[in-house]
Amino acid sequence: MATQSNIHFYVNWAKERLDEMEAVLASLEGKVGEVQADARDRADKAITGLRKSRDIFRDTVKKQAAANETAWTSAKATLEPEWNSFEAEVKKYVESFSKQVEQQQATFKLQAAAQLKAWREAADKLGSDTKHFATERQAEIDVAVKRMQVDAGAAEEKLQKQLDQMGTQSWSALMGVLTETRAAFDRANQAARDAFKRAA
Protein backbone atom coordinates (compact mmCIF):
# COMPACT_ATOMS: atom_id res chain seq x y z
CA MET A 1 0.00 0.00 0.00
CA ALA A 2 2.76 2.45 0.88
CA THR A 3 4.41 2.18 -2.52
CA GLN A 4 1.09 2.73 -4.27
CA SER A 5 0.35 5.70 -2.01
CA ASN A 6 3.73 7.23 -2.79
CA ILE A 7 2.88 7.11 -6.48
CA HIS A 8 -0.32 9.08 -5.84
CA PHE A 9 1.78 12.10 -5.01
CA TYR A 10 3.38 12.06 -8.44
CA VAL A 11 -0.02 11.53 -10.03
CA ASN A 12 -1.40 14.51 -8.05
CA TRP A 13 1.46 16.68 -9.29
CA ALA A 14 0.99 15.62 -12.92
CA LYS A 15 -2.81 15.82 -12.83
CA GLU A 16 -2.76 19.35 -11.42
CA ARG A 17 -0.60 20.53 -14.30
CA LEU A 18 -2.52 18.59 -16.92
CA ASP A 19 -5.81 20.02 -15.66
CA GLU A 20 -4.36 23.52 -15.94
CA MET A 21 -3.17 22.78 -19.48
CA GLU A 22 -6.67 21.64 -20.41
CA ALA A 23 -8.19 24.77 -18.84
CA VAL A 24 -5.82 27.09 -20.70
CA LEU A 25 -6.48 25.40 -24.02
CA ALA A 26 -10.25 25.51 -23.49
CA SER A 27 -10.05 29.22 -22.79
CA LEU A 28 -7.76 30.08 -25.69
CA GLU A 29 -9.59 27.88 -28.17
CA GLY A 30 -12.87 29.47 -27.16
CA LYS A 31 -11.58 32.94 -27.98
CA VAL A 32 -9.34 32.31 -31.00
CA GLY A 33 -12.11 33.56 -33.27
CA GLU A 34 -11.76 37.00 -31.67
CA VAL A 35 -8.14 37.33 -32.77
CA GLN A 36 -7.75 39.80 -35.60
CA ALA A 37 -7.91 38.14 -39.02
CA ASP A 38 -4.32 39.01 -39.96
CA ALA A 39 -3.00 37.31 -36.80
CA ARG A 40 -5.41 34.37 -36.66
CA ASP A 41 -3.13 31.99 -38.58
CA ARG A 42 -0.29 32.62 -36.11
CA ALA A 43 -2.71 32.23 -33.20
CA ASP A 44 -3.98 28.91 -34.59
CA LYS A 45 -0.40 27.69 -34.97
CA ALA A 46 0.41 28.73 -31.41
CA ILE A 47 -2.63 26.85 -30.09
CA THR A 48 -1.63 23.81 -32.14
CA GLY A 49 1.80 23.98 -30.49
CA LEU A 50 0.18 24.22 -27.05
CA ARG A 51 -2.01 21.21 -27.85
CA LYS A 52 1.08 19.27 -28.90
CA SER A 53 2.81 20.14 -25.61
CA ARG A 54 -0.28 19.10 -23.67
CA ASP A 55 -0.48 15.83 -25.63
CA ILE A 56 3.16 14.99 -24.94
CA PHE A 57 2.65 15.73 -21.24
CA ARG A 58 -0.58 13.71 -21.10
CA ASP A 59 0.91 10.75 -23.00
CA THR A 60 3.91 10.64 -20.67
CA VAL A 61 1.60 10.67 -17.66
CA LYS A 62 -0.54 7.87 -19.15
CA LYS A 63 2.55 5.74 -19.78
CA GLN A 64 3.47 6.14 -16.13
CA ALA A 65 0.07 5.05 -14.81
CA ALA A 66 1.32 1.69 -13.52
CA ALA A 67 4.94 2.71 -12.98
CA ASN A 68 6.87 2.45 -9.75
CA GLU A 69 8.17 5.36 -7.71
CA THR A 70 11.60 5.36 -9.37
CA ALA A 71 10.04 5.59 -12.83
CA TRP A 72 7.76 8.40 -11.65
CA THR A 73 10.72 10.32 -10.24
CA SER A 74 12.39 10.11 -13.64
CA ALA A 75 9.18 11.01 -15.48
CA LYS A 76 8.63 14.03 -13.25
CA ALA A 77 12.13 15.26 -14.14
CA THR A 78 11.11 14.98 -17.81
CA LEU A 79 7.69 16.54 -17.32
CA GLU A 80 8.82 19.63 -15.40
CA PRO A 81 10.57 21.21 -18.41
CA GLU A 82 7.53 20.33 -20.55
CA TRP A 83 5.32 22.18 -18.07
CA ASN A 84 7.67 25.17 -17.97
CA SER A 85 7.74 25.29 -21.76
CA PHE A 86 3.94 25.17 -21.90
CA GLU A 87 3.71 28.06 -19.44
CA ALA A 88 6.22 30.11 -21.44
CA GLU A 89 4.26 29.50 -24.65
CA VAL A 90 0.99 30.50 -22.98
CA LYS A 91 2.64 33.71 -21.79
CA LYS A 92 3.81 34.46 -25.35
CA TYR A 93 0.35 33.72 -26.69
CA VAL A 94 -1.38 35.95 -24.19
CA GLU A 95 1.07 38.78 -24.78
CA SER A 96 0.71 38.44 -28.56
CA PHE A 97 -2.95 37.66 -29.07
CA SER A 98 -4.91 38.20 -25.88
CA LYS A 99 -4.60 41.89 -25.28
CA GLN A 100 -8.16 41.84 -24.08
CA VAL A 101 -8.42 41.77 -20.33
CA GLU A 102 -11.52 39.57 -20.59
CA GLN A 103 -9.52 36.79 -22.29
CA GLN A 104 -6.81 36.97 -19.65
CA GLN A 105 -9.40 36.90 -16.87
CA ALA A 106 -11.25 33.96 -18.41
CA THR A 107 -8.01 32.00 -18.74
CA PHE A 108 -7.01 32.80 -15.16
CA LYS A 109 -10.44 31.77 -13.84
CA LEU A 110 -10.27 28.41 -15.60
CA GLN A 111 -6.71 27.77 -14.45
CA ALA A 112 -7.57 28.73 -10.87
CA ALA A 113 -10.60 26.43 -10.93
CA ALA A 114 -8.49 23.56 -12.28
CA GLN A 115 -5.88 24.12 -9.59
CA LEU A 116 -8.45 24.23 -6.78
CA LYS A 117 -10.09 21.06 -8.10
CA ALA A 118 -6.71 19.32 -8.00
CA TRP A 119 -6.20 20.46 -4.39
CA ARG A 120 -9.58 19.08 -3.34
CA GLU A 121 -9.16 15.78 -5.17
CA ALA A 122 -5.68 15.25 -3.73
CA ALA A 123 -6.85 15.98 -0.17
CA ASP A 124 -9.85 13.67 -0.58
CA LYS A 125 -7.67 10.88 -1.97
CA LEU A 126 -5.16 11.25 0.84
CA GLY A 127 -7.96 11.20 3.37
CA SER A 128 -9.28 7.92 1.99
CA ASP A 129 -5.75 6.44 1.90
CA THR A 130 -5.32 6.94 5.65
CA LYS A 131 -7.73 4.08 6.28
CA HIS A 132 -5.04 1.64 5.13
CA PHE A 133 -2.64 2.46 7.95
CA ALA A 134 -2.53 1.11 11.45
CA THR A 135 -4.41 3.21 14.00
CA GLU A 136 -1.23 4.49 15.66
CA ARG A 137 0.04 5.75 12.29
CA GLN A 138 -3.23 7.35 11.22
CA ALA A 139 -2.74 10.35 13.49
CA GLU A 140 0.45 11.36 11.67
CA ILE A 141 -1.22 10.93 8.29
CA ASP A 142 -4.32 12.80 9.47
CA VAL A 143 -2.13 15.79 10.39
CA ALA A 144 -0.65 15.84 6.88
CA VAL A 145 -4.07 15.56 5.26
CA LYS A 146 -5.47 18.31 7.50
CA ARG A 147 -2.49 20.50 6.60
CA MET A 148 -3.21 19.95 2.91
CA GLN A 149 -6.86 20.89 3.44
CA VAL A 150 -5.88 24.05 5.34
CA ASP A 151 -3.36 24.97 2.63
CA ALA A 152 -6.01 24.32 -0.01
CA GLY A 153 -8.35 26.72 1.82
CA ALA A 154 -5.63 29.36 1.95
CA ALA A 155 -4.93 28.91 -1.76
CA GLU A 156 -8.63 29.24 -2.51
CA GLU A 157 -8.79 32.48 -0.54
CA LYS A 158 -5.74 33.85 -2.34
CA LEU A 159 -7.13 32.92 -5.75
CA GLN A 160 -10.55 34.34 -4.88
CA LYS A 161 -8.91 37.61 -3.83
CA GLN A 162 -7.21 37.75 -7.22
CA LEU A 163 -10.51 37.03 -8.94
CA ASP A 164 -12.12 39.88 -7.02
CA GLN A 165 -9.32 42.29 -7.99
CA MET A 166 -8.79 40.99 -11.50
CA GLY A 167 -9.65 44.15 -13.35
CA THR A 168 -6.59 45.82 -11.87
CA GLN A 169 -4.13 42.93 -12.22
CA SER A 170 -1.71 42.32 -15.06
CA TRP A 171 -1.31 38.89 -16.65
CA SER A 172 2.06 38.54 -14.93
CA ALA A 173 0.50 39.26 -11.53
CA LEU A 174 -2.26 36.72 -12.15
CA MET A 175 0.24 34.07 -13.21
CA GLY A 176 2.41 34.93 -10.21
CA VAL A 177 -0.45 34.02 -7.89
CA LEU A 178 -1.09 30.75 -9.74
CA THR A 179 2.61 29.93 -9.52
CA GLU A 180 2.60 30.69 -5.82
CA THR A 181 -0.46 28.54 -5.08
CA ARG A 182 0.89 25.75 -7.33
CA ALA A 183 4.13 25.77 -5.33
CA ALA A 184 2.08 25.59 -2.12
CA PHE A 185 0.25 22.58 -3.59
CA ASP A 186 3.59 20.94 -4.37
CA ARG A 187 4.86 21.57 -0.82
CA ALA A 188 1.66 20.20 0.72
CA ASN A 189 1.75 17.22 -1.60
CA GLN A 190 5.40 16.55 -0.67
CA ALA A 191 4.69 16.90 3.06
CA ALA A 192 1.85 14.40 2.79
CA ARG A 193 4.07 12.04 0.78
CA ASP A 194 6.75 12.26 3.47
CA ALA A 195 4.19 11.54 6.19
CA PHE A 196 2.95 8.49 4.28
CA LYS A 197 6.52 7.23 3.88
CA ARG A 198 7.22 7.62 7.59
CA ALA A 199 4.00 5.84 8.47
CA ALA A 200 4.64 2.91 6.13
Calculate the alpha carbon distances from 17 to 38, 103, 137 in Å. 32, 20, 30
Residue 34 is given by DSSP the state G
**The pLDDT value given to residue 109:** 85
**The pLDDT value given to residue 67:** 85
Is-contact 159 116, C-beta < 8 A? yes
**The pLDDT value given to residue 128:** 75
Splitting the chain (200 residues) into consecutive groups of 10 residues, what average pLDDT does each group show? Answer: 63 91 91 79 91 94 86 90 92 78 79 87 77 67 80 83 74 84 86 76
> How far apart, in whole angstroms, are the C-alpha atoms of residue 31 and residue 126?
37
The tens digit of pLDDT for each residue in 93-113 reads: 888 876 666 777 788 888 888
**The pLDDT value given to residue 137:** 67
Cα Rg of the chain (Å, integer)? 18
Is-contact 181 155, C-beta < 8 A? yes
> How far apart, in whole angstroms, are the C-alpha atoms of residue 144 and residue 137?
11
**The pLDDT value given to residue 57:** 93
